[in-house]
Amino acid sequence: MARFLPHPVLTVVIALVWLALVNTVSAGHLLLGLALGVGIPWFTQDYWPGHPRLKRPLKIVEYGLVVAWDILVSNVQVAYLVLFRRGESLRSRFVSVPLDLRTPEAVTVLAGTITLTPGTVSADLAADGGAILVHCLEADDPDAVVAGIKQRYERRLKEIFE
């Protein structure tokens, strides 16, 4: 069964996304969504890495709430910067954040979180995975940016993945 449905949750998600995209719930669309949901994971299963090991999976909810709150707050901050600050007065810069994370899944989630948060984008990952380069739209104190990322995101990801 695992070989036929290598990623059952992904199968359901693909089917639901298909139904949302076509904006119709009919037998034909449901059948096509399920066919895509079964076919895509099945044809790509050889390219998927093993399943990540989660030490504390319930912490994902806490992490999601923190990220959602930070996205909301950052949207307001970036809107203020765009609407009321002149471009010359912005202090944008690249900041190198040293990483304590060792699992590739945790580093990927961290990079995605940084990019999802308005005003920051993960630009590069060191070849050894020991640091991530982050561009900040407004960074008065680079050390505060590093401390914020390590405290709010990296610490929680270590609890989840390591």
User: How far is the C-alpha of 126 from the C-alpha of 99, rounded, in Å?
Assistant: 10
User: How far is the C-alpha of 115 from the C-alpha of 10, rounded, in Å?
Assistant: 23
> Which of 44, 33, 31 minimizes the C-alpha distance to 11?
33
pLDDT in tens, 69-123: 999 999 999 999 999 988 788 889 999 999 999 888 899 999 999 999 999 999 9
pLDDT of 146 over the 90 cut: yes
Q: 3-state DSSP call for residue 133? A: strand
Average model confidence (pLDDT) for the chain? Answer: 90
Fold exhibited by the domain 59-161: Alpha-Beta Plaits (3.30.70)
Q: Where are the domains of the chain?
A: 8-47, 59-161
Kindly report the pTM of this predicted structure: 0.75
Q: Cβ neighbours of residue 113 under 8 Å, at least 6 residues apart?
A: 67, 153
**H or E segment to which residue 14 belongs:** helix 8-22
